Amino acid sequence: GDSVTQMEGPVTLSEEAFLTINCTYTATGYPSLFWYVQYPGEGLQLLLKATKADDKGSNKGFEATYRKETTSFHLEKGSVQVSDSAVYFCALSEANAGKSTFGDGTTLTVKP
Amino acid sequence: GAVVSQHPSWVICKSGTSVKIECRSLDFQATTMFWYRQFPKQSLMLMATSNEGSKATYEQGVEKDKFLINHASLTLSTLTVTSAHPEDSSFYICSAAGGRRGGRETQYFGPGTRLLVL
């Protein structure tokens, strides 16, 4: 079945540091890939997505590129802020299945 | 992005009572809604998938008689936790998908409902 593996956390960075959170996946078809962010006590918010190979999703300074050859969708940001502290979930969704498969989440803490 | 609301955001109840949680898609018609459960510092566990006008599909290990799901319209799904017990205490999150916004693959999540059963 489908699966998503995320870099284990927690990740602690200083403000303005470069962020990478690794995500790899296994899927039977051609899934869409997503990054969601969850702030403390809240639900998940869609951060960015990519629907086919070589697509780059971007939002709020975050980027991730759909790499079919390495089955990866790593999340990056050039300069993190304290307000980026949250839990980040990588996910995939097969078009025909409808439901999504989530990674375990990576907790990011950014210190001033 | 699309807006999905949940109500209530917090509920505390006595053991043995039933609790209903509403999930609404406010600005699009959701053909599919999902219900998740999340334990502290863990990922989301899919409980069930609900399509408007049909019975929900439950994941393995989820008791359908305990977690009743109704998806009566394209904008509303409800989850009722029947005869709740302390072990049902958790964070319940719904999501909505479908329609022209985002397509079937993109889920938009509600803010979650924290349930505490005493």
> Residue B109 and residue A36: Cβ atoms within 8 Å?
yes
* B43 CB within 8 Å of a chain A CB: yes
pLDDT in tens, chain A (112 residues): 889 999 888 999 999 999 999 999 999 888 999 999 999 888 889 999 999 999 999 999 999 999 999 999 999 999 999 999 999 999 998 866 667 889 999 999 999 9
Name residue A52's amino acid: K
Q: Is A57 on the interface with B (CB under 8 A)?
A: no
- In chain B, residues with a C-beta closer than 8 Å to the C-beta of A42 are 111-112
- Kindly determine whether residue A46 and residue B105, on different chains, have CB atoms separated by under 8 Å: no
**Partner residue facing A46 (CB), from B32, B43, B108:** B108
- B109: pLDDT strictly greater than 60: yes
**CB-based contact (8 Å) between A100 and chain B?**
yes
Q: Which chain A residue's Cα is nearest to B10?
A: A41
Which residue do the tokens 């639900």 mark? A43
What gap in Å lies between CA A85 and CA A33, rounded to an integer?
22
pLDDT higher for A40 or B94? B94
The residue of B26, B28, B44, B104 whose CB has the most chain A CBs within 10 angstroms, and thus the best one to mutate to test that interface, is B44
Rounded CA gap, A89 and B59, in Å? 20
Closest C-alpha among B105, B107, B117, B113 to residue B38 = B113
Q: Which two tokens stand for residue B59?
A: 């994941």
